[in-house]
Chains A and B, each alone.
Chain A
Amino acid sequence: MKITYNWLKDFVDIKISPRELADKLTMAGLEVVSLEEKSGDFVLEIEITSNRPDWLSILGIAREVAAITNAKLKISNFKPMKINRGRGLLKIEIENKKEASLYSARIIKGVKVGPSPEWLKNRLELVGCRTVNNLVDITNYILFELGEPLHAFDLDKLAQGKIIVRRGKPGEKITTIDGLERTLSENILVIADSEKPVVIAGVMGGLNTEVSFATTNILLEAAVFNPVLVRRGRQELGLQSEASYRFERGVDLEVAGKASLRAAELIKEVCGGSETLFQASGLVKPQAREIILTLSDVERILGIKISAIKVKTILSKLGFTVKNKTKDSFRIGIPSFRQDVNLAEDLIEEIARIFGYEHIPMSLPRISPRVTIRGRRDLVSDLKNILTGLGLNEAITYSLTDAKILNDFEPATDAIELMNPLSREQGFLRTTLLSGLVRGVAHNLNQKQEYVALFEIGNVFLKINNSQKEDLKLGIVLSGSKKMLLNEAAVKDELGILNLKGAIETLFARLGIKNYEFTKQAQGSKVDIYLNKDSIGSISMLDSLLLEKFSIKNRNVWTLEVSLEKILSAANLGKKYLPLPKYPAITRDISLVLKKEISLKDLLVLLQEKGRPLLRELEITDYYKGKQIPSGYRGLTLSCNYGSNERTLIEEEVAPVHNLICSTLIDSFGAKIR
């Protein structure tokens, strides 16, 4: 909200410069976001928090200035409006007093509508309000000055005799002063005469009863409407105005009377005319409220002793009444414009604000020691460090995505949809991390990166019956080839499925997980990962359809996604020492040529079984290619490590086992030993 320095001075003597004033207001919670010298005055733009509708006026801010600078507020106490129950010429009917706690009307006849005087125009322009004519400008002037939105009707365009505050009727229409026709509903509060709705209550007036240069007789409305109804009305109509902004936050019943009087005086002064009628209906009086405040509570909350005199001064400057209860406690009367104050804590904040947060000392709390156990989060953090150690970069991708993209990865029938998404592209919660990660790959390939290796650890969201589940997942994507310059030459390592297998095996090793298995699906290139016989995810290569959808050309993309939830719950972090071997081992290498269809997994399992108990380790230690290897075959070296815990093995013991290994290779797998 914009205010001006000189306008403030109408209500309070200010002895400090506009700059100093701006700083002091900011430090009291009225954040001044800009200060500008303009037309011989200074305009301050202040961000008003939603709890302080009373600050949406020059008067409210002047009251703050009085408290901050210890000056006197130049305004007499308001008296509530006298209610006279419409028996005169005008009848005011409020259908539900909870929806309009006050409706008052003044009839002023013989006004001369014309351009506003300079001073009035000038002030309105400084605070960013368009000037219309003297009458409308005066109602706006009072809105900015006192915070009460007023409305003036052309009396002669109202059907005579009656003002009704009621809900709109379905299908009823009104053209507002901005020239748009709007359709009303039962959710919207309106002001109507005996024939038609004339105002959307608290939001905007109707064109048909608008004050024009031809107007001579007016009805001046000052009312207080229910904040929630005004809010719903303007939301339904998609309208916002200075009036609705204030009514939504709460307009003070007492200030309404003052505003009506002050506006009438100004109208008579500027536009002439004379008041012929005043009528008001509504609730008689706001309830008086009191809060007990003790000095010890002030200290308990703030951590500093503030004297009784200081407390009294601050609160009375802010418009509270302060009566001593005991030496240490007060009865604080809450003014009607402070509907936000309900508890002693609210008063303590007021004291602290004006006392100055900067004057409250700093202390450190005593924290009761609690040994915190390394938990799931710490493990996740370890895993992230391992993955970066393997050369993978951590990505963070959006949890909101397009259902179509999710479906491309797997049927996303269990995806959760948003009720109010920003766009279709962000309409669903992700069921896989891969959609975001592959987008990351595509982005980086577009930037001409040779090698992309990303991972993300984050939640996916699944609909399960009528409930929802957040599942912590790990996703890894790889594409391209990794180049490394070694001693003699550069090597280029085309990334693929084994890099993903290696990464996940490293994590399993860190977590002490042994009972896992990789199983290739019958069709396609997908490999399922099992943990204790339970499927926890898979490794796969993106198919050409998906690559095309992400505009990835001439590249393979390898993906892994596993449930980290399941992996972490299988973690076995206990460690046990195995005695080091006492006797030396014998190593025998076998170089062999195998048909490519032979599964190495089956081969290793069978050999390990045959070699028991002397065969302690069996490893593939080399691959070889070359002319000697016919196509459809592969060459490799198996390293067999034999040993015993009881004695040093001699040649005669190892030979039969090793021969069995060799003959198994030949007989069961058709291997050729070189």
Chain B
Amino acid sequence: MDINLILAEIDAEINNVNSSGGLEQFRLKYLGRKGIVAQLTAAIPTLPQSERAAFGQKVNALKNKLSLLLEEKQKGSIADSSNGESASFDMGMPGIAQELGHLHPLTQVTEEICGIFNRMGFSVVEGPEIESEYNNFTGLNIPLEHPSREAFDTFYLKDYSKMLLRSHTSPVQVRAMKDSKPPLAIIVPGRVYRPDAVDASHSFMFHQVEGFMVDKGIKFSDLKGTLAEFAKAIFGKDIKMRFRPHFFPFTEPSAEVDISCIICKGLGCSVCGRKGWLEILGSGMIHPNVFKHVGINPKEYTGFAFGMGVERIAMLKYGINDIRLFFENDLRFLKQF
């Protein structure tokens, strides 16, 4: 076999190869276990000593050239085939990925609310769901046997004296103010309970976010400004807001906060009862009696507090019309968020 002849022919030969099968045949012909290169190598020891080195070099050169050619041809064919595949690929075929699960809409809204206040400098604090009557009522200036308790019907625990399921997140105010000294800027998400029969707008278990701030020189105007920022962050910058006087035992002055109806933009529709306004939270300046209960001097410190229902905000935000959907855990519902 004349190595020079082989070297001269292989270029043309590989050019004629046009399938991956053909290429493999070509490889086996030359580089296979019983291929030409192997045969040539095996022939080396049969040559006279003086020719062996030169012949060996030629065989090596052939081997290198073949490897190079094969590599190039292979590269070309991969590129060709992948080009071909993407050209024939139908983008109507579904993509392949792990399907993600979904966070509950109440979690998402809670996180959004807490996130807004976090960025304003508030810290998140949580409290227990089983509370003392003192923290839930007395410490918040809601006296026993007072009509103001009417709004706070509460589940009490059997076998425990004066323990209950908190009917709002406000007891965490009492806890936090006892635990740490002002300045305080705290946001409290959590589950709360009230003995309301379940229907489209009532649930015996729901979620609230409470916020409060205590420092020297906190004013009602700060409450207004803070909540206005919040409303814009969560409902969009065009939202209008109004503060109406109201009564809460633990704040004085107290205010209910309405936003312009996000459904009808304030023109009046069935969601807002044709009023153009939607009530979204209760708020006010922390009552001096609450401060006295936790040992903060109301002459030195002032503060504001506010609380809102997470279900209410979520229902408005997403257009959900039945509170029971939140607790049914229907995947067709959960996967929408």
Task: Write the residues of chain A forming the contact surface with B, with a CB cutoff of 8 angstroms.
Answer: 26-29, 31, 49-52, 227-228, 231-232, 248-249, 300-304, 343, 345-346, 348-349, 352-353, 357-358, 360-370, 372, 375, 377, 381, 384-385, 387-400, 416-422, 426, 429, 440, 443-444, 447, 449, 452-455, 458-459, 461, 463, 468, 470, 484-487
Contacts and interface: CB of A to CB of B under 8 A. Distances in A.
Q: Which of A31, A353, A362, A375 has the most C-beta atoms of chain B within 10 angstroms of its own C-beta?
A: A362
Nearest to A487: B96
B195 A422 contact: yes
A390 B97 CA distance: 11
A300 B219 contact: yes
A420 B155 CA distance: 6
A397 B329 contact: yes
Contacts of A370: 121, 123, 185
Interface of B: 94, 96, 98-104, 106-107, 111, 118, 120-124, 126, 128-130, 145-148, 150-151, 155-160, 163, 165, 183, 185, 191, 193, 195, 197, 204-205, 213, 215, 217-222, 224-226, 228-229, 242-247, 249, 252-255, 285, 287-288, 302, 326-332, 334-335
B123 A28 contact: no
Nearest to B95: A485
Nearest to A354: B245
A391 B100 contact: yes
A367 B101 contact: no
Contacts of A384: 103, 107
B205 A399 contact: yes
Nearest to B219: A303
Contacts of A389: 98, 100-101
Main secondary structure of the interface of A (DSSP, over half): mixed
B156 A362 contact: no
Q: Which of B155, B253, B326 has the most C-beta atoms of chain A within 10 angstroms of its own C-beta?
A: B253
A384 B118 CA distance: 19
Contact of B224 (A52, A231, A248, A362): A362
B129 A399 contact: yes
B103 A400 contact: no
Nearest to B328: A443
Contacts of B332: 447
Given A352-B253, A400-B193, A461-B130, A453 B101 contact: yes
Contact of A248 (B107, B147, B218, B244): B147
A303 B222 contact: yes
Nearest to A50: B147
The 4 closest A-B pairs by CB, nearest first: A303-B221, A29-B245, A303-B219, A49-B247
Given A422-B204, A447-B330, A228 B145 contact: yes
Contact of A367 (B121, B157, B220): B121
A365 B102 contact: no
Contacts of A231: 145, 147
22 contacts: A50-B150, A51-B247, A227-B147, A228-B145, A249-B147, A302-B253, A353-B245, A357-B245, A362-B224, A364-B226, A365-B226, A367-B122, A377-B124, A384-B103, A388-B102, A389-B100, A393-B101, A396-B107, A398-B204, A400-B204, A417-B157, A486-B96
A367 B99 contact: no
A393 B302 contact: no
Contact of B96 (A51, A357, A485): A485
B107 A394 contact: yes
Contacts of A367: 120-122, 183, 185, 213
B247 A388 contact: no
Given A384-B103, A392-B101, A417-B159, A470 B120 contact: no
B14 to A, nearest CB: 31
A393 B335 contact: yes
Contacts of B242: 27, 357-358
Contacts of B205: 398-400
B313 to A, nearest CB: 15
B252 A346 contact: yes
Contact of B244 (A357, A360, A396, A463): A357
Given A362-B225, A365-B215, A389-B100, A454 B329 contact: yes
Contacts of B163: 468
B7 to A, nearest CB: 35
B245 A349 contact: yes
A276 B161 CA distance: 55
Given A395-B334, A420-B156, A363 B225 contact: yes
Nearest to B198: A422
Contact of B102 (A372, A394, A447): A394
Contacts of A393: 101-102, 104, 329, 331, 334-335
Given A391-B98, A417-B157, A396 B329 contact: yes
Given A51-B148, A357-B243, A364-B222, A440 B329 contact: yes
Contact of B285 (A232, A345, A363, A449): A345
A513 B184 CA distance: 35
A189 to B, nearest CB: 14
Nearest to A388: B101
Nearest to B194: A422
A396 B247 CA distance: 32
Contacts of A397: 327, 329
Nearest to A452: B331
B244 A31 contact: yes
B165 to A, nearest CB: 8
A362 B126 CA distance: 29
Contacts of A362: 221, 224-225, 228
B121 A419 contact: no
Given A231-B145, A392-B101, A459-B191, 4 more contacts: A232-B145, A345-B285, A365-B213, A367-B121
B330 A443 contact: yes
A429 B160 CA distance: 13
B253 A345 contact: yes
A260 B120 CA distance: 57
Contacts of B329: 393, 395-397, 440, 443-444, 454
Contacts of A302: 219-221, 253
A87 to B, nearest CB: 36
Contacts of B328: 440, 443
A345 B147 CA distance: 21
Q: Which of B195, B218, B220, B287 has the most C-beta atoms of chain A within 10 angstroms of its own C-beta?
A: B220
Contacts of B157: 416-419, 468
Contact of A50 (B151, B158, B185, B335): B151
A11 to B, nearest CB: 22
A567 B245 CA distance: 47
Given A365-B222, A367-B185, A395-B334, A468 B160 contact: yes
B254 A360 contact: no
Nearest to A370: B123
Contacts of B126: 377
Contact of B245 (A28, A398, A484): A28
A421 to B, nearest CB: 7
A418 B156 contact: yes
A360 B130 contact: no
A394 B109 CA distance: 13
A358 B245 CA distance: 10
Contacts of A364: 222, 225-226, 229
Contacts of A470: 128-130
A390 B99 CA distance: 8
A395 B104 contact: yes
Q: Which of B147, B217, B226, B254 has the most C-beta atoms of chain A within 10 angstroms of its own C-beta?
A: B147
B158 A418 contact: yes
A485 B93 CA distance: 10
B181 to A, nearest CB: 12
